[in-house]
C-alpha cells in the first residue's frame, strides 16, 4: 500500500528489507503455529490444508493484478488493492481475537458467579 508513495530508491530499499524480513518470519512461523493449534498428531494434514488455503490467493491474485494494470495503465491500483486486503485481514483477525476474549471473559465470570452461588447456597444449608 505504501509503494506508490515511495519515490526514492532509499525509501523503497528500506521498505523492501523490512517487508522481506517480516514476510520471512511469517513463513517460518506457519508450521510452529499450526503445530500449536492442532498438535503433533494432525500436523501433516493441517499443514497441507494451511498451504492449500495459502495457494488460493497466490493463484487468483496475479490475474486480478494484471487486469487492474491493464485497466488503469499503472500499478497503483494493484498496490492499493493488495494493501487494502492486508488491512482488511488485520481487522478481521483483530475482531476475532476481541470476540474470543469477550467470550472467554463472559464464561469466566459466569463460572465465577455459579461457583460463588453454589458456595453461598451450601453455606446457608450448613454444608460448608
Q: Quote the pLDDT of residue 112.
A: 59
Residues 6+ apart with CB under 8 A from 128: 119, 122
Question: pLDDT tens digits, the chain, 128 residues: what are they?
Answer: 666 777 888 888 888 898 888 888 888 899 999 999 899 999 999 999 999 998 998 899 999 999 999 999 988 888 888 889 889 999 998 999 899 888 888 777 665 555 555 555 555 665 55
Q: Quote the pLDDT of residue 63.
A: 93
Counting every residue written for the chain, the total comes to 128
Closest CA to 61 of 85, 43, 40: 85
Q: Quote the pLDDT of residue 32.
A: 92
Q: Quote the pLDDT of residue 48.
A: 94
Q: Quote the pLDDT of residue 56.
A: 92
Amino acid at each position: 500500500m505504501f509503494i506508490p508513495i515511495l519515490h526514492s530508491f532509499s525509501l523503497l530499499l528500506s521498505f523492501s528489507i523490512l517487508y522481506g524480513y517480516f514476510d520471512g518470519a511469517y513463513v517460518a512461523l506457519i508450521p510452529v503455529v499450526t503445530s500449536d493449534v492442532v498438535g503433533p498428531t494432525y500436523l501433516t494434514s493441517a499443514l497441507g490444508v494451511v498451504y492449500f488455503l495459502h495457494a488460493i490467493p497466490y493463484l487468483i491474485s496475479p490475474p486480478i493484478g494484471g487486469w487492474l494494470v491493464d485497466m488503469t495503465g499503472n500499478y497503483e491500483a494493484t498496490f492499493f488493492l493488495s494493501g487494502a486486503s492486508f488491512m482488511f485481514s488485520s481487522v478481521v483477525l483483530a475482531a476475532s481475537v476481541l470476540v474470543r476474549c469477550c467470550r472467554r471473559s463472559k464464561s469466566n465470570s459466569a463460572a465465577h458467579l455459579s461457583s460463588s452461588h453454589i458456595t453461598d447456597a451450601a453455606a446457608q444449608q450448613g454444608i460448608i
